[in-house]
Copies of this chain bind each other. A is one copy, B any other.
Amino acid sequence: MSGSTGVGNVPRQQQTSGGRRGGGRGRKGGRRSREVFRASESQHPQKKDASDDQQDLKSPPPACTDFDVAYFEAYAHIGIHEEMIKDHVRTEAYRDAVMQHQSFIQGKVVVDVGCGTGILSIFCAQAGAKRVYAVDASAIAVQAKEVVKANNLAETVIVLHGRVEDVEIDEQVDVIISEWMGYTLLYESMLGSVITARDRWLKHGGLILPCTATLYLAPITHPDRYNDSIDFWRNVYGIDMSAMLPVAKQCAFEEPCVETITGENVLTWPHVVKHVDCYTIQLNELESISTRYKFQSMMRAPLHGFAFWFDVEFSGPANSSIITPSQSPLIGISDDDPVDDIPTKKRTNLNEPLVLSTAPEDPPTHWQQTLIYLYDPIEVEQDQIIEGSVTLSQSKENRRFMNIHLQYSSGGRSFVKESVFR
Interface residues of A (CB under 8 A from B): 10, 12-13, 15-31, 33-36, 38-42, 70, 73-74, 76-80, 82-83, 85-86, 91, 95, 117, 119, 122-123, 143, 146-147, 149-151, 229, 232, 236-237, 239-244, 247-248, 251-252, 255-260, 366, 368, 370-371
* B17 A20 Cβ-Cβ under 8 A: no
Q: How far is the CA of A20 from the CA of B32 in the complex (A)?
A: 11
Q: How far is the CB of A243 from chain B (nearest CB, A)?
A: 4
Partner of A35, one of B35, B149, B241, B244: B35
Collect the chain B residues with CB atoms within 8 Å of residue A76's CB.
17
Collect the chain B residues with CB atoms within 8 Å of residue A123's CB.
237
Collect the chain B residues with CB atoms within 8 Å of residue A146's CB.
243-244
Partner of A257, one of B26, B31, B38, B248: B26
Collect the chain B residues with CB atoms within 8 Å of residue A21's CB.
24, 27, 29-31, 79, 83, 366
Collect the chain B residues with CB atoms within 8 Å of residue A240's CB.
147, 150-151
Q: How far is the CA of A74 from the CA of B257 in the complex (A)?
A: 18
Specify the chain B residue showing the minimal Cβ separation from A79: B17
* B17 A25 Cβ-Cβ under 8 A: no
Q: How far is the CB of A145 from chain B (nearest CB, A)?
A: 9
- 12 of the cross-chain contacts (CB-CB < 8 Å) are A15-B39, A16-B77, A17-B28, A19-B19, A20-B25, A20-B26, A25-B258, A26-B34, A82-B248, A117-B236, A119-B237, A150-B240
Q: How far is the CB of A356 from chain B (nearest CB, A)?
A: 16
Partner of A15, one of B73, B149, B255, B258: B73
* B242 A150 Cβ-Cβ under 8 A: yes
* B74 A18 Cβ-Cβ under 8 A: yes
Q: How far is the CA of A26 from the CA of B370 in the complex (A)?
A: 9
Q: How far is the CA of A348 from the CA of B340 in the complex (A)?
A: 69
Specify the chain B residue showing the minimal Cβ separation from A75: B17
Q: How far is the CB of A304 from chain B (nearest CB, A)?
A: 14
Q: How far is the CB of A184 from chain B (nearest CB, A)?
A: 11
Q: How far is the CB of A137 from chain B (nearest CB, A)?
A: 14
Collect the chain B residues with CB atoms within 8 Å of residue A243's CB.
143, 146-147, 149-150
Q: How far is the CA of A20 from the CA of B255 in the complex (A)?
A: 17
Q: A12, A26, A243, A247 — which one has the most chain B CB atoms within 10 A of its CB?
A: A26
* B35 A30 Cβ-Cβ under 8 A: no
Collect the chain B residues with CB atoms within 8 Å of residue A78's CB.
244, 247-248, 251-252
Q: How far is the CA of A119 from the CA of B57 in the complex (A)?
A: 65
Specify the chain B residue showing the minimal Cβ separation from A122: B239
Collect the chain B residues with CB atoms within 8 Å of residue A74's CB.
15-18
Q: How far is the CA of A27 from the CA of B266 in the complex (A)?
A: 20
Specify the chain B residue showing the minimal Cβ separation from A236: B85
Known A19-B33, A25-B259; 6 more pairs at CB < 8 Å? A18-B74, A20-B30, A21-B30, A22-B24, A26-B257, A77-B251
Given contacts A78-B247, A237-B95, A251-B77, contact A41 B147 (CB under 8 A): no
Given contacts A24-B25, A33-B19, A74-B18, contact A79 B251 (CB under 8 A): yes
Q: How far is the CB of A320 from chain B (nearest CB, A)?
A: 27
Q: A73, A232, A244 — which one has the most chain B CB atoms within 10 A of its CB?
A: A244
Specify the chain B residue showing the minimal Cβ separation from A38: B18
